[in-house]
Amino acid sequence: MTVFAVLLAAGSSSRFGNGNKLLRKLPRGESVWRASYRALSSHPSIDSVGLVASPEILADAAGLPLAFAIGGGSERAGSSLAGIIAAPAGSLVLVHDAARPFACAALIDRVIAAAKEHGAAIPVVPVSDTIKVVNDSSIEKTLDRTNLFRAQTPQAASREDLIRALQENPSATDEASALEAIGVEVRAVAGVEANVKITTMSDLPNLVRTPTVGFGFDIHAFSKDPGRKLMLGGVEFEGERGLEGHSDADVVLHALTDALLGTVGCGDIGVLFPNTDPAFAGANSLNFLREAVELVGEEGGEIVSADITVLAENPKLGTNREKIRERISQELRLPKRRVNVKATTMEGMGAIGRNEGIAAMASVTVLLQ
């Protein structure tokens, strides 16, 4: 089943005061709407993304690999409907607000999985404030908040259900309420507090976050097994001697994974992926990295940069350096210029200097809420 995402960026920002909030820059230098776009476009389960936007966002989107980029209306439901109609027939459609730049991949996974199984799904978070019904400045009653939740996006359902729901409910404030109104059951999955919607200037303090640095180190000896491949930074070094280890022994990804875990206080790679667990024998270390990236996202962290040093007498990184940067920037969902890869020899000193193995150090900067 095709999974298609519609990104809504047509809002006029009337509640935001000066300028389009979606063009505001986040700390890593990317605008709000582009961060939302990348959360969708980089997700492995999303086949393609279409944009419904205001003229200034459409101008900013020129050149991006979008399935379509069309103008939106003044009402959210109208813009959403236009995008859903433009999605491929028979697809599962996710509708996401461009004002939510911090939707992590794990959240998107949960929404897609639940929508595939139950037909429609949205992420929700519990209400922590006490909710009052107020009439003419007088409190009428206090609601029991046990069953009250705030709806987030992305919201997902089949294209055909969404079209029917929004055509019949043109003033719905989200897709789920339109679906509910036509009797489609909508599944609630766990949202993420960090997945905030930037609506007013007062939301901007949410963007003022604490930079946190994580550090990682790893070392592996060369293997005597001529069949082992040398993997560094997710890139195979063809014809080079491999490293010994339970997994694929990618020291660069191990150091990087540890650095990521360090930013959110989640222990180390050995705790998460024990080398006594046969499930991880020969494991592709990209899986460890992906898990760590998800953990950072779940903790509300935004990865800002990564800096890596490889310690080896041999081999030289050569042209693989750029391949490693490419690979890691994809995995961390970072612009390539925010991922640095360096190498040094040990000037013949110590175990690395005697060419007995390879080590790597990594530091990662994350902004935490």
Q: How far is the CB of 103 from Mg ion (least distance, A)?
A: 31
Is the dihedral angle over the CA atoms 52, 57, 58, 60 positive or is it negative? negative
- Of 91-99, 123-131, 168-176, 246-254, which segment contacts Mg ion by CB under 5 A? 246-254
Count the alpha carbons within 13 Å of 369 in the hemisphere toward its beta carbon. 18
Site string for Mg ion, 206-245 (x = CB under 5 A): ------------x---------------------------
338 is a contact residue toward Mg ion (CB under 5 A): no
What distance in Å separates the CA atoms of residue 240 and residue 219, rounded to the nearest whole number?
17
- Of 34-42, 51-59, 230-238, 247-255, which segment contacts Mg ion by CB under 5 A? 247-255
When binding is defined by CB under 5 A, the residue of 254, 325, 327, 333 that contacts Mg ion is: 254
- Of 31-39, 248-256, 310-318, 324-332, which segment contacts Mg ion by CB under 5 A? 248-256
250 is a contact residue toward Mg ion (CB under 5 A): no
- For the record, the structure tokens of 81 come out as 């409907």
- Residues in binding contact with Mg ion, number by CB under 5 A: 2
248 is a contact residue toward Mg ion (CB under 5 A): no
Q: How far is the CB of 219 from Mg ion (least distance, A)?
A: 8
CB closer to Mg ion out of 219 and 368: 219
299 is a contact residue toward Mg ion (CB under 5 A): no
* Residue whose structure tokens are 């990682």: 216
> Which phi and psi (to 5°) does residue 251 adopt?
-60, -35
Is the dihedral angle over the CA atoms 219, 222, 226, 229 positive or is it negative? positive
CB closer to Mg ion out of 175 and 218: 218
What distance in Å separates the CA atoms of residue 168 and residue 184, rounded to the nearest whole number?
13
- For the record, the structure tokens of 32 come out as 């709000």
Measured CA angle at 118 (ends 103, 108), to 5 deg: 10
Q: How far is the CB of 251 from Mg ion (least distance, A)?
A: 6
H or E element, residue 298: helix 286-298
* Cβ-closest position to Mg ion: 254
CB closer to Mg ion out of 190 and 219: 219
DSSP annotation of 25: B
> What is the contact surface with Mg ion in residues (CB under 5 A)?
218, 254
